[in-house]
Amino acid sequence: MRDRNAASDLSALDAELHTKMQERKRILDEAYRLKAELERLRPEVDALQRRANYFAVEFKEKHDEALAAYEDGDGELAKEYSMEGRELQELCEAANEQTSEARSALREVQDAMRQHFNVAKQLEGELNELRRRLNGAQRQHEQERRNSETRRRIAQAVTLSGFSQADTSSIRGCLSMFPTAILQRLDRIVFTAQGAQGQHGRPITGRTRLFPGRKYFVEMFDHDPRLGERITETIAHELGHIAFPLLSIERRKEWMDLYAATDDTQFVSRYAIRDFEEDFCECLMLFRGKSRQSCKGK
């Protein structure tokens, strides 16, 4: 399940990266199109400005000539120069208006181009972050894959005796979900037709024993007719007895305090009420042995 979730996360990140790259490409394409448009408009604006400047110079010359003719007392010539000057003035004003409109369009294209390049730059930063996350997720996925292979390898090394082929497959699948620190301390799991009693004289489904050298073995008994259905749950519970001593002192104390503060009606099972370690094992059974259930109240 963890491998599937990791693969799903990788797929989602890869899809997000691909979408973001397409978006950045679209923005950059538009930015370069605007840049090309800007390069096309600049000569046109320059040409319009030169035309407006030409009419301005011509108008000034006619204006000066009209003044000179008026001062010389040649009214007819002054009037003629004035009329030509008004025509040049109108042409100059029209050219200035066209130049102003062209410059405004040029600025709009320039602003749009800069905005698109800025957005592309921002997207590049987001892409770099996505690439960083994707690389991290890939490394994590690879590490989890190696860990999963290690757990399966160690689970295959655990000796199982007395079980059917179907139960053996289920048990190894259950074992492969547990951390290597637990599996490395497990030597074997044995099924026996002989019953056994617990501390209170009641029949028990399984028990965990410690070999010399800190290796554990789990015994399972057949007095419970539902054992075939609950075999992975029982094993998960028994592995809890291996896991609990591996917790830090602080974690064990936290669990003991939580156990002491829990009302009898809030435990996950009646068996969990017996003591804090059995409570831990029952919760682990629900968490690992029944993948769709959760540890209520914990």
Taking only the tens of pLDDT, the chain with its 298 residues reads: 555 566 678 888 899 999 999 999 999 999 999 999 999 999 999 999 999 999 999 999 999 999 999 898 888 998 998 999 999 999 999 999 999 999 999 999 999 999 999 999 999 999 999 999 999 989 988 988 899 899 999 999 999 988 888 888 888 988 998 999 999 999 989 887 665 555 554 556 778 888 766 688 888 776 454 555 578 888 899 999 999 999 999 999 999 999 999 998 899 999 899 999 999 999 998 887 554 333 444 4
In this predicted structure, what is the pLDDT of residue 195? 56
Rounded to an integer, what distance in angstroms lies between the CA atom of residue 77 and that of residue 69? 6
DSSP per position, 210-227: EETTTEEEEEEES-STTH
Report how far apart, in Å, the C-alpha atoms of 156 and of each of 151, 160, 167, 181, 231 are: 8, 9, 14, 15, 17
Rounded to an integer, what distance in angstroms lies between the CA atom of residue 52 and that of residue 71? 29
Domain annotation for the chain: domains and CATH numbers: 2-154 (1.10.287), 158-289 (3.30.2010)
In this predicted structure, what is the pLDDT of residue 296? 40
In this predicted structure, what is the pLDDT of residue 200? 52
Its sign, for the CA torsion 75, 80, 83, 85, is negative
Order the strands of the 206-211 sheet from edge to edge. Answer: 159-161, 186-192, 215-221, 206-211
Residues above pLDDT 70, as percent of the chain: 86
Identify residue 249 by its one-letter amino acid code. I
In this predicted structure, what is the pLDDT of residue 276? 95
| Residue showing tokens 């936290």 | 254
Of the candidates 160, 189, 155, which has an alpha carbon nearest to the alpha carbon of residue 174?
155
Per-residue DSSP letter, 289 = I
Tell me the three state secondary structure of residue 103: helix
Rounded to an integer, what distance in angstroms lies between the CA atom of residue 145 and that of residue 154? 14
258, two tokens: 């939580």
In this predicted structure, what is the pLDDT of residue 167? 85
| Residue showing tokens 């602003």 | 111
The model carries a pTM of 0.58
